[in-house]
Structure 1
Amino acid sequence: MVHRWQRQLVPALDLVHRGALEPHRGHVLSALPPETLGYLADLTGGAPTLVDLWTEALTHGSMGEARDYQRLEFLGDRVLGLAIAEWLHEKSDAAEGKLSQRLNALVSRETCADVARHIALPSHIRLGKQARDDGGTQSDNILGDVMEALIGALFVERGFDAARAFVRRVWDKPMATGTGQRKHPKAALQEWAAGNRRKPPVYTLVAREGPDHAARFTVSVEVKGVGTASATGSSKQEAETSAARAFMQDFG
Protein backbone atom coordinates (compact mmCIF):
# COMPACT_ATOMS: atom_id res chain seq x y z
CA MET A 1 0.00 0.00 0.00
CA VAL A 2 1.39 3.43 -0.96
CA HIS A 3 0.30 6.19 1.38
CA ARG A 4 -0.41 9.80 0.50
CA TRP A 5 2.58 11.08 2.46
CA GLN A 6 4.87 8.59 0.69
CA ARG A 7 3.75 9.75 -2.76
CA GLN A 8 4.34 13.40 -1.85
CA LEU A 9 7.47 13.07 0.27
CA VAL A 10 10.09 13.19 -2.47
CA PRO A 11 8.81 16.36 -4.21
CA ALA A 12 8.25 18.00 -0.83
CA LEU A 13 11.81 17.32 0.31
CA ASP A 14 13.16 18.42 -3.06
CA LEU A 15 11.23 21.68 -2.77
CA VAL A 16 12.63 22.35 0.68
CA HIS A 17 16.21 21.58 -0.26
CA ARG A 18 15.96 23.95 -3.21
CA GLY A 19 14.66 26.60 -0.83
CA ALA A 20 17.44 25.88 1.66
CA LEU A 21 19.99 26.82 -0.99
CA GLU A 22 18.57 30.32 -1.32
CA PRO A 23 21.04 32.85 0.12
CA HIS A 24 18.43 34.74 2.14
CA ARG A 25 14.90 33.94 3.28
CA GLY A 26 14.08 37.55 4.02
CA HIS A 27 12.75 38.87 7.32
CA VAL A 28 9.03 38.43 6.82
CA LEU A 29 7.83 37.92 10.39
CA SER A 30 8.45 39.50 13.76
CA ALA A 31 10.99 37.85 16.03
CA LEU A 32 9.84 35.45 18.71
CA PRO A 33 9.96 36.54 22.37
CA PRO A 34 12.96 35.38 24.43
CA GLU A 35 10.88 32.87 26.41
CA THR A 36 9.78 31.13 23.21
CA LEU A 37 13.32 31.09 21.82
CA GLY A 38 14.47 29.52 25.08
CA TYR A 39 11.63 27.01 24.91
CA LEU A 40 12.61 26.00 21.37
CA ALA A 41 16.28 25.67 22.34
CA ASP A 42 15.40 23.40 25.27
CA LEU A 43 12.89 21.43 23.19
CA THR A 44 15.10 20.80 20.17
CA GLY A 45 18.53 20.71 21.80
CA GLY A 46 19.87 23.83 20.12
CA ALA A 47 19.16 27.53 19.74
CA PRO A 48 17.17 28.41 16.59
CA THR A 49 19.32 30.04 13.92
CA LEU A 50 16.60 30.76 11.33
CA VAL A 51 14.30 32.68 13.64
CA ASP A 52 11.87 33.67 10.89
CA LEU A 53 11.45 29.99 10.01
CA TRP A 54 10.44 29.09 13.58
CA THR A 55 8.21 32.14 13.82
CA GLU A 56 6.45 30.94 10.68
CA ALA A 57 6.01 27.48 12.21
CA LEU A 58 4.28 28.94 15.29
CA THR A 59 2.09 31.49 13.47
CA HIS A 60 -1.61 30.88 12.85
CA GLY A 61 -3.39 32.52 9.93
CA SER A 62 -5.44 34.65 12.34
CA MET A 63 -2.32 36.80 12.88
CA GLY A 64 -2.78 38.17 9.35
CA GLU A 65 0.94 37.94 8.54
CA ALA A 66 2.68 37.18 5.27
CA ARG A 67 3.53 33.62 6.32
CA ASP A 68 1.85 31.14 8.62
CA TYR A 69 2.49 27.50 9.52
CA GLN A 70 0.70 25.84 6.60
CA ARG A 71 3.68 25.26 4.28
CA LEU A 72 5.83 23.90 7.09
CA GLU A 73 2.93 21.75 8.27
CA PHE A 74 2.77 20.23 4.78
CA LEU A 75 6.45 19.34 4.98
CA GLY A 76 6.43 18.24 8.62
CA ASP A 77 3.56 15.84 7.95
CA ARG A 78 5.74 13.96 5.46
CA VAL A 79 8.85 14.03 7.63
CA LEU A 80 6.85 12.75 10.61
CA GLY A 81 5.36 9.97 8.50
CA LEU A 82 8.77 8.84 7.28
CA ALA A 83 10.31 8.99 10.77
CA ILE A 84 7.49 6.96 12.33
CA ALA A 85 7.40 4.45 9.45
CA GLU A 86 11.14 3.84 9.78
CA TRP A 87 10.78 3.46 13.57
CA LEU A 88 7.93 0.97 13.25
CA HIS A 89 9.82 -1.04 10.63
CA GLU A 90 12.81 -1.15 12.97
CA LYS A 91 10.84 -2.14 16.08
CA SER A 92 8.36 -4.64 14.70
CA ASP A 93 8.19 -7.58 12.31
CA ALA A 94 4.40 -7.16 11.98
CA ALA A 95 2.72 -7.44 8.60
CA GLU A 96 2.21 -4.37 6.42
CA GLY A 97 -1.43 -4.01 7.41
CA LYS A 98 -0.62 -3.84 11.13
CA LEU A 99 2.23 -1.42 10.50
CA SER A 100 -0.08 0.82 8.47
CA GLN A 101 -2.68 0.72 11.24
CA ARG A 102 -0.14 1.88 13.82
CA LEU A 103 1.36 4.47 11.48
CA ASN A 104 -2.01 6.06 10.80
CA ALA A 105 -2.75 6.29 14.52
CA LEU A 106 0.66 7.63 15.47
CA VAL A 107 0.61 10.43 12.87
CA SER A 108 -3.07 11.29 13.36
CA ARG A 109 -4.09 14.82 14.27
CA GLU A 110 -5.30 13.60 17.64
CA THR A 111 -1.92 12.08 18.52
CA CYS A 112 -0.03 15.13 17.22
CA ALA A 113 -2.23 17.36 19.40
CA ASP A 114 -1.65 15.15 22.44
CA VAL A 115 2.11 15.37 21.91
CA ALA A 116 1.85 19.16 21.53
CA ARG A 117 0.09 19.41 24.90
CA HIS A 118 2.63 17.09 26.52
CA ILE A 119 5.53 19.34 25.48
CA ALA A 120 3.66 22.52 26.59
CA LEU A 121 3.44 23.93 23.06
CA PRO A 122 0.04 25.74 23.29
CA SER A 123 1.28 28.85 25.12
CA HIS A 124 3.90 29.50 22.42
CA ILE A 125 1.55 29.45 19.41
CA ARG A 126 1.00 32.87 17.83
CA LEU A 127 -2.76 33.39 17.50
CA GLY A 128 -4.88 36.44 16.80
CA LYS A 129 -6.91 37.70 19.76
CA GLN A 130 -10.22 36.34 18.50
CA ALA A 131 -8.76 32.93 17.75
CA ARG A 132 -7.19 32.81 21.21
CA ASP A 133 -10.42 33.93 22.87
CA ASP A 134 -12.27 31.20 20.97
CA GLY A 135 -10.02 28.54 22.48
CA GLY A 136 -7.63 28.08 19.59
CA THR A 137 -4.79 27.00 21.88
CA GLN A 138 -6.77 23.86 22.76
CA SER A 139 -7.96 23.02 19.25
CA ASP A 140 -6.73 19.61 18.08
CA ASN A 141 -6.66 20.99 14.53
CA ILE A 142 -4.34 23.88 15.40
CA LEU A 143 -2.16 21.96 17.85
CA GLY A 144 -1.72 19.06 15.43
CA ASP A 145 -0.86 21.38 12.56
CA VAL A 146 1.68 23.41 14.57
CA MET A 147 3.28 20.23 15.88
CA GLU A 148 3.89 19.12 12.30
CA ALA A 149 5.11 22.60 11.35
CA LEU A 150 7.74 22.47 14.10
CA ILE A 151 8.99 19.17 12.70
CA GLY A 152 9.13 20.77 9.26
CA ALA A 153 11.12 23.72 10.61
CA LEU A 154 13.56 21.42 12.39
CA PHE A 155 14.06 19.44 9.18
CA VAL A 156 14.77 22.59 7.15
CA GLU A 157 17.21 24.01 9.69
CA ARG A 158 19.06 20.86 10.80
CA GLY A 159 18.14 18.00 8.46
CA PHE A 160 16.39 14.67 8.75
CA ASP A 161 18.65 13.15 11.42
CA ALA A 162 17.75 15.92 13.86
CA ALA A 163 14.05 15.70 12.95
CA ARG A 164 14.08 11.91 13.41
CA ALA A 165 15.77 12.18 16.82
CA PHE A 166 13.22 14.78 17.92
CA VAL A 167 10.27 12.65 16.79
CA ARG A 168 11.61 9.60 18.58
CA ARG A 169 11.99 11.58 21.78
CA VAL A 170 8.63 13.33 21.91
CA TRP A 171 6.66 10.39 20.42
CA ASP A 172 8.19 7.95 22.90
CA LYS A 173 5.05 7.71 25.04
CA PRO A 174 2.56 7.07 22.19
CA MET A 175 4.95 4.48 20.75
CA ALA A 176 5.55 2.80 24.11
CA THR A 177 1.86 2.71 25.08
CA GLY A 178 0.88 0.95 21.87
CA THR A 179 -1.08 3.72 20.14
CA GLY A 180 -2.72 2.19 17.08
CA GLN A 181 -2.29 -1.44 18.07
CA ARG A 182 -6.00 -1.91 18.47
CA LYS A 183 -8.22 -1.71 15.41
CA HIS A 184 -9.54 1.74 14.54
CA PRO A 185 -13.11 2.19 15.90
CA LYS A 186 -14.57 2.79 12.43
CA ALA A 187 -12.93 -0.36 11.05
CA ALA A 188 -14.08 -2.32 14.10
CA LEU A 189 -17.66 -1.14 13.61
CA GLN A 190 -17.56 -1.95 9.90
CA GLU A 191 -16.42 -5.49 10.68
CA TRP A 192 -18.98 -5.87 13.47
CA ALA A 193 -21.81 -4.88 11.13
CA ALA A 194 -20.64 -7.31 8.45
CA GLY A 195 -20.19 -10.09 10.98
CA ASN A 196 -23.74 -9.57 12.23
CA ARG A 197 -25.19 -9.47 8.71
CA ARG A 198 -26.12 -5.82 8.96
CA LYS A 199 -25.82 -3.09 6.38
CA PRO A 200 -22.68 -0.93 6.62
CA PRO A 201 -22.78 1.92 9.17
CA VAL A 202 -23.95 5.28 7.87
CA TYR A 203 -22.34 8.47 9.21
CA THR A 204 -24.26 11.75 9.16
CA LEU A 205 -22.98 15.23 9.97
CA VAL A 206 -25.51 16.59 12.47
CA ALA A 207 -23.99 19.97 13.23
CA ARG A 208 -20.94 22.16 12.66
CA GLU A 209 -20.47 24.96 15.15
CA GLY A 210 -17.88 27.61 15.94
CA PRO A 211 -15.32 29.50 13.84
CA ASP A 212 -13.04 27.66 11.41
CA HIS A 213 -10.05 27.64 13.77
CA ALA A 214 -12.11 26.19 16.65
CA ALA A 215 -14.89 24.31 14.85
CA ARG A 216 -16.86 21.54 16.58
CA PHE A 217 -18.49 18.77 14.56
CA THR A 218 -21.30 16.51 15.74
CA VAL A 219 -21.73 13.25 13.84
CA SER A 220 -24.18 10.39 14.24
CA VAL A 221 -23.65 6.84 13.07
CA GLU A 222 -26.45 4.35 12.40
CA VAL A 223 -26.51 0.65 11.73
CA LYS A 224 -29.97 -0.03 10.38
CA GLY A 225 -32.01 -2.26 12.62
CA VAL A 226 -29.61 -1.87 15.55
CA GLY A 227 -29.39 1.75 16.67
CA THR A 228 -27.52 5.05 16.50
CA ALA A 229 -24.83 6.84 18.45
CA SER A 230 -23.42 10.35 18.19
CA ALA A 231 -20.31 12.23 19.26
CA THR A 232 -18.61 15.60 18.89
CA GLY A 233 -15.03 16.40 17.90
CA SER A 234 -12.76 19.13 16.57
CA SER A 235 -12.86 17.56 13.10
CA LYS A 236 -15.41 15.50 11.20
CA GLN A 237 -13.05 12.53 11.23
CA GLU A 238 -12.55 12.77 15.00
CA ALA A 239 -16.31 12.97 15.55
CA GLU A 240 -16.91 9.93 13.32
CA THR A 241 -14.27 7.96 15.22
CA SER A 242 -15.80 8.89 18.57
CA ALA A 243 -19.29 8.04 17.32
CA ALA A 244 -18.11 4.61 16.14
CA ARG A 245 -16.46 4.01 19.51
CA ALA A 246 -19.66 5.04 21.32
CA PHE A 247 -21.74 2.74 19.12
CA MET A 248 -19.52 -0.24 19.89
CA GLN A 249 -19.72 0.53 23.61
CA ASP A 250 -23.52 0.69 23.45
CA PHE A 251 -24.32 -2.13 21.00
CA GLY A 252 -21.13 -4.09 20.22
Structure 2
Amino acid sequence: MTGKVIVITGANGGLGRALAQRFADDGETVVMLARSLEKVSEVARDIGGKTLPIACDVASPDSVRAAFAEIARSHPKIDVLINNAAIFNPFLIEEATDDQIMGAVLTNFAGPVLCCRSAIPMLDRGGQIINLSSESVEHPVPHLLMYQSTKSAIERFSKDLHSELEDRNIRVSIVRAGAMVGPGSSATMEPEAAMRFLTAAAKKGIDFMTRPVSQYASTVHLFRTIVDLPADLHIGLMAYQARPAD
Protein backbone atom coordinates (compact mmCIF):
# COMPACT_ATOMS: atom_id res chain seq x y z
CA MET A 1 0.00 0.00 0.00
CA THR A 2 1.49 3.33 -1.05
CA GLY A 3 1.60 6.24 1.39
CA LYS A 4 -0.25 9.49 1.07
CA VAL A 5 1.05 12.67 -0.53
CA ILE A 6 0.58 15.40 2.08
CA VAL A 7 1.18 19.10 1.36
CA ILE A 8 1.93 21.31 4.38
CA THR A 9 2.27 25.10 4.29
CA GLY A 10 4.52 26.90 6.76
CA ALA A 11 6.55 23.69 7.05
CA ASN A 12 9.91 25.20 7.95
CA GLY A 13 9.18 25.70 11.65
CA GLY A 14 6.79 25.28 14.55
CA LEU A 15 3.77 23.05 14.07
CA GLY A 16 4.38 22.77 10.32
CA ARG A 17 7.80 21.27 10.90
CA ALA A 18 6.45 18.91 13.57
CA LEU A 19 3.72 17.74 11.18
CA ALA A 20 6.24 17.18 8.40
CA GLN A 21 8.43 15.17 10.78
CA ARG A 22 5.53 13.00 11.96
CA PHE A 23 4.17 12.21 8.51
CA ALA A 24 7.65 11.59 7.06
CA ASP A 25 8.41 9.23 9.96
CA ASP A 26 5.17 7.43 9.14
CA GLY A 27 6.34 6.84 5.57
CA GLU A 28 4.17 9.43 3.85
CA THR A 29 5.42 11.68 1.06
CA VAL A 30 5.51 15.20 2.52
CA VAL A 31 5.58 18.31 0.33
CA MET A 32 6.94 21.11 2.50
CA LEU A 33 6.02 24.67 1.51
CA ALA A 34 7.61 27.79 3.02
CA ARG A 35 8.69 31.23 1.85
CA SER A 36 12.42 30.51 2.08
CA LEU A 37 13.58 27.61 -0.08
CA GLU A 38 16.92 27.58 1.72
CA LYS A 39 15.35 27.23 5.16
CA VAL A 40 12.73 24.66 4.21
CA SER A 41 15.31 22.62 2.30
CA GLU A 42 17.51 22.53 5.40
CA VAL A 43 14.56 21.37 7.50
CA ALA A 44 13.68 18.72 4.91
CA ARG A 45 17.24 17.38 5.04
CA ASP A 46 17.05 17.19 8.83
CA ILE A 47 13.72 15.36 8.68
CA GLY A 48 14.76 12.89 5.99
CA GLY A 49 12.31 10.44 4.50
CA LYS A 50 10.27 11.28 1.42
CA THR A 51 10.18 15.07 1.62
CA LEU A 52 9.96 17.65 -1.16
CA PRO A 53 10.76 21.25 -0.15
CA ILE A 54 9.29 23.99 -2.35
CA ALA A 55 9.37 27.78 -2.00
CA CYS A 56 5.91 29.28 -1.64
CA ASP A 57 4.65 32.59 -0.29
CA VAL A 58 1.00 31.77 0.37
CA ALA A 59 0.14 35.50 0.29
CA SER A 60 1.09 35.66 -3.40
CA PRO A 61 -1.25 34.15 -6.02
CA ASP A 62 1.63 33.78 -8.49
CA SER A 63 3.83 32.06 -5.91
CA VAL A 64 1.06 29.62 -4.96
CA ARG A 65 0.36 28.79 -8.62
CA ALA A 66 4.05 28.22 -9.28
CA ALA A 67 4.44 26.03 -6.18
CA PHE A 68 1.53 23.76 -7.06
CA ALA A 69 2.70 23.52 -10.66
CA GLU A 70 6.03 22.31 -9.29
CA ILE A 71 4.25 19.83 -7.03
CA ALA A 72 2.28 18.51 -10.01
CA ARG A 73 5.45 17.71 -11.93
CA SER A 74 6.38 15.15 -9.25
CA HIS A 75 2.95 14.34 -7.82
CA PRO A 76 0.03 14.99 -10.20
CA LYS A 77 -2.34 13.84 -7.46
CA ILE A 78 -2.19 14.68 -3.77
CA ASP A 79 -4.15 13.26 -0.84
CA VAL A 80 -4.05 15.96 1.84
CA LEU A 81 -3.51 19.73 2.04
CA ILE A 82 -2.78 21.17 5.49
CA ASN A 83 -3.02 24.97 5.56
CA ASN A 84 -0.81 25.74 8.53
CA ALA A 85 1.05 28.94 7.54
CA ALA A 86 -0.06 32.01 9.50
CA ILE A 87 1.14 35.27 11.00
CA PHE A 88 0.71 35.75 14.75
CA ASN A 89 1.45 39.41 15.40
CA PRO A 90 -0.32 41.23 18.27
CA PHE A 91 -1.12 44.92 17.71
CA LEU A 92 -3.85 47.51 18.19
CA ILE A 93 -5.83 48.41 15.08
CA GLU A 94 -5.43 52.15 15.60
CA GLU A 95 -1.65 51.68 15.62
CA ALA A 96 -1.45 49.07 12.88
CA THR A 97 0.69 49.55 9.80
CA ASP A 98 -0.57 48.71 6.33
CA ASP A 99 1.79 45.74 6.27
CA GLN A 100 0.47 44.39 9.56
CA ILE A 101 -3.15 44.52 8.40
CA MET A 102 -2.57 43.24 4.89
CA GLY A 103 -0.07 40.65 6.08
CA ALA A 104 -2.69 39.12 8.38
CA VAL A 105 -5.43 39.16 5.74
CA LEU A 106 -3.24 37.80 2.94
CA THR A 107 -1.32 35.14 4.88
CA ASN A 108 -3.96 33.96 7.36
CA PHE A 109 -7.02 34.05 5.12
CA ALA A 110 -6.24 34.61 1.44
CA GLY A 111 -3.29 32.21 1.64
CA PRO A 112 -5.35 29.14 2.57
CA VAL A 113 -7.96 30.12 -0.02
CA LEU A 114 -5.32 30.36 -2.75
CA CYS A 115 -3.78 27.03 -1.74
CA CYS A 116 -7.19 25.35 -1.72
CA ARG A 117 -7.92 26.69 -5.20
CA SER A 118 -4.70 25.18 -6.55
CA ALA A 119 -4.99 21.92 -4.59
CA ILE A 120 -8.60 21.01 -5.37
CA PRO A 121 -7.97 19.92 -8.99
CA MET A 122 -5.17 17.67 -7.69
CA LEU A 123 -7.30 15.97 -5.02
CA ASP A 124 -9.01 12.70 -5.94
CA ARG A 125 -12.21 11.49 -4.32
CA GLY A 126 -11.45 10.91 -0.66
CA GLY A 127 -8.97 13.77 -0.53
CA GLN A 128 -8.76 16.03 2.50
CA ILE A 129 -8.14 19.68 3.30
CA ILE A 130 -7.28 20.64 6.89
CA ASN A 131 -7.34 24.33 7.80
CA LEU A 132 -5.82 25.70 11.00
CA SER A 133 -7.87 27.96 13.23
CA SER A 134 -7.28 29.20 16.78
CA GLU A 135 -8.98 28.94 20.16
CA SER A 136 -8.89 32.75 20.17
CA VAL A 137 -11.96 32.84 17.91
CA GLU A 138 -13.97 31.68 20.94
CA HIS A 139 -11.98 33.49 23.62
CA PRO A 140 -11.07 36.98 22.39
CA VAL A 141 -7.62 38.13 23.40
CA PRO A 142 -6.46 41.78 23.42
CA HIS A 143 -4.25 42.93 20.54
CA LEU A 144 -5.26 39.94 18.39
CA LEU A 145 -8.26 41.37 16.54
CA MET A 146 -6.80 40.77 13.06
CA TYR A 147 -5.56 37.30 13.96
CA GLN A 148 -8.93 36.33 15.47
CA SER A 149 -10.85 37.82 12.54
CA THR A 150 -8.83 35.99 9.90
CA LYS A 151 -9.10 32.70 11.78
CA SER A 152 -12.87 33.20 12.12
CA ALA A 153 -13.02 33.84 8.38
CA ILE A 154 -11.13 30.64 7.59
CA GLU A 155 -13.60 28.68 9.73
CA ARG A 156 -16.55 30.10 7.77
CA PHE A 157 -14.74 29.44 4.49
CA SER A 158 -13.92 25.86 5.50
CA LYS A 159 -17.51 24.98 6.40
CA ASP A 160 -18.87 26.23 3.09
CA LEU A 161 -15.99 24.77 1.08
CA HIS A 162 -16.79 21.36 2.54
CA SER A 163 -20.35 21.77 1.27
CA GLU A 164 -19.07 22.90 -2.14
CA LEU A 165 -16.83 19.82 -2.45
CA GLU A 166 -19.12 17.25 -0.85
CA ASP A 167 -20.31 15.81 -4.17
CA ARG A 168 -16.67 15.19 -5.07
CA ASN A 169 -16.09 13.38 -1.77
CA ILE A 170 -13.40 15.82 -0.66
CA ARG A 171 -13.56 16.52 3.05
CA VAL A 172 -12.63 19.86 4.63
CA SER A 173 -11.80 19.94 8.34
CA ILE A 174 -10.93 22.71 10.77
CA VAL A 175 -8.51 22.28 13.65
CA ARG A 176 -9.10 24.99 16.25
CA ALA A 177 -5.74 24.90 17.98
CA GLY A 178 -4.84 25.78 21.53
CA ALA A 179 -1.55 27.24 22.73
CA MET A 180 1.49 25.17 21.80
CA VAL A 181 5.27 25.32 21.76
CA GLY A 182 8.19 23.10 20.89
CA PRO A 183 11.51 22.81 19.07
CA GLY A 184 11.76 24.88 15.90
CA SER A 185 9.14 27.41 16.97
CA SER A 186 8.90 30.19 14.39
CA ALA A 187 6.76 32.62 16.41
CA THR A 188 8.59 35.78 17.43
CA MET A 189 7.48 39.12 18.86
CA GLU A 190 9.27 42.38 19.47
CA PRO A 191 9.95 42.66 23.23
CA GLU A 192 7.88 45.86 23.60
CA ALA A 193 4.94 44.43 21.64
CA ALA A 194 5.13 41.20 23.64
CA MET A 195 5.07 43.07 26.96
CA ARG A 196 2.08 45.19 25.92
CA PHE A 197 0.27 42.08 24.70
CA LEU A 198 0.89 40.13 27.90
CA THR A 199 -0.04 43.12 30.09
CA ALA A 200 -3.30 43.76 28.20
CA ALA A 201 -4.19 40.08 28.38
CA ALA A 202 -3.51 39.98 32.11
CA LYS A 203 -5.90 42.91 32.62
CA LYS A 204 -8.58 40.78 30.94
CA GLY A 205 -7.82 37.89 33.29
CA ILE A 206 -5.69 35.92 30.83
CA ASP A 207 -2.33 35.04 32.33
CA PHE A 208 -0.19 33.56 29.57
CA MET A 209 2.66 33.03 32.02
CA THR A 210 0.72 30.37 33.94
CA ARG A 211 -1.69 28.96 31.32
CA PRO A 212 -0.99 25.37 30.16
CA VAL A 213 0.74 25.00 26.80
CA SER A 214 0.81 21.83 24.72
CA GLN A 215 3.76 20.50 22.73
CA TYR A 216 3.83 20.36 18.93
CA ALA A 217 4.74 16.68 19.19
CA SER A 218 1.49 16.03 21.07
CA THR A 219 -0.66 18.07 18.71
CA VAL A 220 0.40 16.15 15.61
CA HIS A 221 -1.48 13.07 16.85
CA LEU A 222 -4.74 14.92 16.21
CA PHE A 223 -3.81 15.53 12.58
CA ARG A 224 -2.84 11.90 12.16
CA THR A 225 -6.32 10.97 13.41
CA ILE A 226 -8.04 13.22 10.87
CA VAL A 227 -5.89 11.98 7.97
CA ASP A 228 -6.65 8.35 8.94
CA LEU A 229 -10.42 8.77 9.20
CA PRO A 230 -12.47 6.04 7.52
CA ALA A 231 -14.23 7.18 4.35
CA ASP A 232 -17.63 7.22 6.05
CA LEU A 233 -16.58 9.71 8.74
CA HIS A 234 -15.92 13.44 8.69
CA ILE A 235 -14.62 15.82 11.35
CA GLY A 236 -15.91 19.30 10.57
CA LEU A 237 -14.31 21.00 13.58
CA MET A 238 -11.78 19.58 16.00
CA ALA A 239 -11.12 21.93 18.91
CA TYR A 240 -8.51 21.23 21.55
CA GLN A 241 -6.97 23.03 24.51
CA ALA A 242 -3.71 22.56 26.31
CA ARG A 243 -3.78 21.07 29.82
CA PRO A 244 -1.16 20.42 32.50
CA ALA A 245 0.82 17.30 31.65
CA ASP A 246 0.86 16.06 35.25
- Fold shared, TM-score > 0.5 on shorter chain: no
Q: Greater Rg, structure 1 or structure 2?
A: 1
The structure whose residues are more often helix, as a share, is: 1
Say which structure, 1 or 2, has more relative contact order (CA 8 Å, 6+ apart): 2
The structure whose residues are more often strand, as a share, is: 2
**TM-score (norm. length: structure 1):** 0.27
